[in-house]
Amino acid sequence: MLFLFWENIILALNGLRSNIMRTLLTMLGIIIGIASVIAIMTVGDSINGTVTSSMESIGANNITVSVSRVESEDEEITSTGRNFGSFSRNASMSDDDYITDEMIAEFRSEYTDSIQGIFLSESVGSGTAEDGDLSSSVTITGVNSDYLENEELTIVAGRTFTDRDQEESRKVVFVADDLVDTMFGGQYFDAIGEVIDVFIKNRYYQYTIIGVYEYEESSSIAATSDSTELPTTVYLPLYAAREETRSTTGFSSFTVATATGVDSTEFCDTIEAFFNNNYYRNNEDFEISTSSMESMLSSLTEMVSTISMAIAVIAGISLLVGGIGVMNIMLVSITERTREIGTRKALGATNSSIRTQFIVESIVICIIGGIIGILLGIGIAAIATNVLGFAVQPSINGIILSVTFSVFIGVFFGYYPANKAAKLNPIEALRYE
């Protein structure tokens, strides 16, 4: 049986080699269809892979906790317009609506084992650090200890913030090496203890440098920015920043990093229940809502995959056209080889052996076309992803699907011509001119 199978493959290859141009034209529909499917699925997988890596580097286990307006289901029509229940569209947050330090401390204490860190920040603004004629664009951001640890910055010189820096709201900063290169000639250790003036919104701020970190420019920012100098972040103790902004309220949002093994999607419900049941139960206008980076990533990945699959299915229609081309050429081939079929049947070949011969020939056409299509599709995808700035990730599922579909097309569209050849009357076939 195995010998006959290989013999059929050899016969198929010999038959295809006898008319190479016709064979290539027959394969063209298969090649274009497979290449289109592979290219689309590979680009989709590459986008998914890049986006996933980027979001995971930000923190796939991060949950954003924020104060949001209550959405009431009760709807009331008034002479001034449409209002929803007792909620006023123009309601603004009062001091009592913000998340306080006490709330966060109680939450941390209640769920210590489930929390890796709580990130708090306060933006002072963007401006320019100045020293005579020297200047550097900066963004001043106040952060707590967990936030700074999560950034995983590489210390070049000095130190980061201590608990005392945070508690006493000291005006000390952790700056990027780019700033030191510009303003202190790259002398990182000499910059420690130096005072810099930062001009933000018509006001000067003075800070003492206690540490220098290695600045790593985001590839996405670098690709989209035309500026020769991008602003670097200058980190300030959280409550020192809040003093600068004269912020006396609590926080409108913060970020929670869940511990390893904790389902961040389920923990979102736990966070909402804790804050809403304990602190916002009687608040008619505002409540706590959460959003998980993991759920956002899952939704985005699913959306890209769905779009890629839909486009791939549309592109796959060309495979049907290619299959019809295969069936057409097989019918022509059978007509041309009628006497050969008659001779084989006269020598004792069974209907099943004749049928198998032509089905195998059809499969060989589709598989060779499929392989060429896969290579072409990967090449097109590599060029496309390179232009888009993503790392190419060949779609293994797309390759397996394409090869399987190629074999299916070979069997499906080859069966009718093969069956027609098997049913030929040997006497009539031998008489065929």
Kindly list the domain boundaries of the chain, sorted by start residue.
Answer: 2-54+298-431, 75-293
Q: How confident is the model at residue 5 (pLDDT cuts 50, 70, 90)?
A: low
Q: What is the pLDDT of residue 155?
A: 93
8 A C-beta contact, residue 53 and residue 269: no
Whether the predicted pLDDT of 13 surpasses 60: yes
Q: How many contiguous H segments (helices) and E segments (strands) does the chain have?
A: 15, 13
Burial class (CB in 10 A: 0-12, 13-18, 19+), 263: middle
Whether the predicted pLDDT of 80 surpasses 50: no
Between 84-98, 219-233, 311-325, 347-361, the lowest mean confidence (pLDDT) is in 219-233
Q: pLDDT digits over 332-389, tens only?
A: 777 777 777 778 777 777 788 888 877 888 888 888 888 888 888 888 888 888 887 7
Q: What is the pLDDT of residue 79?
A: 42
Considering only CA atoms, which of 66, 63, 62 is closest in space to residue 288? Answer: 66
Whether the predicted pLDDT of 53 surpasses 70: no
- State both tokens at 41: 């699925």
| 86-107: average pLDDT | 78
Cα angle, residue 50 at apex, residues 44 and 51 outer, rounded to 5° = 90
Q: What is the pLDDT of residue 394?
A: 75
Q: What is the pLDDT of residue 135?
A: 87
Q: How confident is the model at residue 105 (pLDDT cuts 50, 70, 90)?
A: very high
Whether the predicted pLDDT of 317 surpasses 80: no
Give, as one character, the DSSP assignment of residue 154: P
Considering only CA atoms, which of 2, 1, 5, 3 is closest in space to residue 357? Answer: 5
Q: What is the pLDDT of residue 287?
A: 93
Strand partners of residue 287: 68
Q: Please tell me the distance from the alpha carbon of residue 272 to that of residue 279, in angstroms, as a whole number.
A: 10
The better pLDDT of the pair 322, 270 is held by 270
Q: How many other C-beta atoms lie within 10 A of the C-beta of residue 169?
A: 17
| 283-299: average pLDDT | 80
Q: Please tell me the distance from the alpha carbon of residue 162 to that of residue 261, in angstroms, as a whole number.
A: 29
Q: pLDDT digits over 392-415, tens only?
A: 777 777 788 777 877 888 788 788
Burial class (CB in 10 A: 0-12, 13-18, 19+), 374: buried
Between 41-55, 165-179, 323-337, 379-393, the lowest mean confidence (pLDDT) is in 41-55
Whether the predicted pLDDT of 30 surpasses 70: yes
Phi, psi angles (nearest 5°) of residue 237: -55, 140
Q: What is the pLDDT of residue 387?
A: 81
The better pLDDT of the pair 70, 317 is held by 70
Q: Please tell me the distance from the alpha carbon of residue 37 to that of residue 285, in angstroms, as a whole number.
A: 50
Place of tokens 């390893």: 260
Q: What is the pLDDT of residue 225?
A: 43
The better pLDDT of the pair 314, 176 is held by 176
One-letter amino acid of 63: I
Q: pLDDT digits over 215-245, tens only?
A: 886 543 443 444 446 789 999 999 999 999 8
pTM: 0.58
Q: Is 252 helix (H, G, I), strand (E, B) or coil?
A: coil
Whether the predicted pLDDT of 116 surpasses 80: yes
Q: What is the pLDDT of residue 180?
A: 92
The better pLDDT of the pair 61, 11 is held by 61
Full DSSP string of 316-381: HHHHHHHHHHHHHHHHHHHHHTHHHHHHHHHTT--HHHHHHHHHHHHHHHHHHHHHHHHHHHHHHH
Q: Please tell me the distance from the alpha carbon of residue 114 to that of residue 261, in angstroms, as a whole number.
A: 9
Between 169-173, 296-300, 419-423, the lowest mean confidence (pLDDT) is in 296-300
